Structure 1
């Protein structure tokens, strides 16, 4: 490892107001990292130093860094401290830096979730009980009604996917998916300030639910893959739009 990576970098922060969110903490940390020119492998200051520089509690700093850890942006352990695992610089993408990190984090977590979600759909088609099938159809109808009414359908979508995870017969899938997504959701409640990212995929949820209820694992996996691909496509289109 390069010599400059052995010691924690000294970062210059601007104090944050009391009650700042994890997102605000990470935005200021991002600014300081870019200003210092840190790259993958470089070590961040200890939590206590970051907290002192930001004028906030160490607990808030720990929460924010844990979110970054869950998104694969940093690696943390007691002996080595906190090190960057992903680039936090503008590079060739002319997005605002915080939006670039947000988009890349979303795509990264989405890529890890993809095989898990596809397998969940297939297993649910095979293992769902009659009670599970009734719940799945109730959840998808709730989702479709919320979307058709122009309401915020995100909670209904989470309940639907939660029903699939329960029906698949292996609780580890749900635990892993929720753990992967948690870090992102804690920071980015509405990705890019647009709460309905993934809206183009909603119409495919009903045929996928029907495939699961009918026990058609192949169709369920294919439709889940199509849903996930649509979400990825939307994120990439938003990046292009912001870039323009």
Structure 2
């Protein structure tokens, strides 16, 4: 169904699925709470467009427009590439030790065959923290929840594919090395490559999931 379409009535849905009206009402309530439908005067529900600006935690990520997610990741590329440069140039020894710790956690998650989305996010957050720019940090935090959903979705697609997981780890290692050496330009370039690759892989994975 497309945005603007009217859902069948409770009675029709009850008959379609062979259930009482109680679970139908519950399901309709979940859809409305998730921002996927809106109730209309006189009864009935209308499908509404789902965007990143009104996405709620309960909403299935697959409902979001692919282009919006790609725009989100593009924004992250812009912010984090510069964050990596600043982390290399401004980061303290303690900052870089934290980044190394988060890198080791990514490696450990792969060794234990875990998705590793939390570890991946922690690594990137440590780099943003090391940039020592409160406005940059706030900007990244504002899109954190949606970004985390995108990372989780993408990394799950790498499960069981050792080559892809090894590539992601290698990209993280190159970012850390550039930051550790204080090479801002290299850190920026490595972060750009890493996130741009993630954006491309996400689009491919998203398209596959929607067409499966």
Fold match (TM-score > 0.5): yes
Give the C-alpha shift of residue 196 in structure 1: 4.8
Work out the CA distance in 2 between the residues paired with 1:212 and 1:108. Answer: 26
- The corresponding residue for 2:185 is 218
In the superposition, the TM-score normalised over structure 2's length comes to 0.68
- The corresponding residue for 2:175 is 208
Flag structure 2 segments of 5+ consecutive residues without an equivalent.
9-24, 56-60
- The corresponding residue for 1:127 is 90
Partner SS for 2:125: helix
Deviations along 1:95-139, whole A, 9 cap, x unmatched?
xxx847443232110011111010000000000011111111111
Work out the CA distance in 2 between the residues paired with 1:130 and 1:48. Answer: 55
**CA-atom RMSD, angstroms?**
3.8
Deviating above 6 A after TM superposition, structure 1's stretches of 4 or more consecutive aligned residues are none
Does residue 191 of structure 1 match 2:153? Answer: yes
Q: 1:12 aligns with which of 6, 22, 31?
A: 6
Deviations along 1:175-215, whole A, 9 cap, x unmatched?
212212424657x7853894659854332101211110110
In the superposition, the TM-score normalised over structure 1's length comes to 0.60
Deviations along 1:73-92, whole A, 9 cap, x unmatched?
xxxxxxxxxxxxxxxxxxxx
Closer, same or farther in 2 for the Cα pair 1:185/1:211, shift >3 Å?
closer
Work out the CA distance in 1 between the residues paired with 2:73 and 2:158. Answer: 16
- The corresponding residue for 1:86 is none
- The corresponding residue for 1:77 is none
- The corresponding residue for 2:124 is 161
- The corresponding residue for 1:6 is none
Q: 1:69 aligns with which of 53, 76, 84?
A: 53
8 A contact 1:114–1:228 mirrored in 2: yes
Partner SS for 1:142: helix
8 A contact 1:103–1:235 mirrored in 2: no
Kindly report which structure 2 residues correspond to 1:20-59, keeping only aligned pairs within 5 A, or say none.
20=30, 25-26=34-35, 28-29=36-37, 49=40, 53=44
Kindly report which structure 2 residues correspond to 1:227-242, keeping only aligned pairs within 5 A, or say none.
227-242=194-209
Give the C-alpha shift of residue 239 in structure 1: 4.4
Partner SS for 1:150: coil
Does residue 151 of structure 1 match 2:114? Answer: yes
Closer, same or farther in 2 for the Cα pair 1:160/1:239, shift >3 Å?
closer
8 A contact 2:117–2:155 mirrored in 1: no
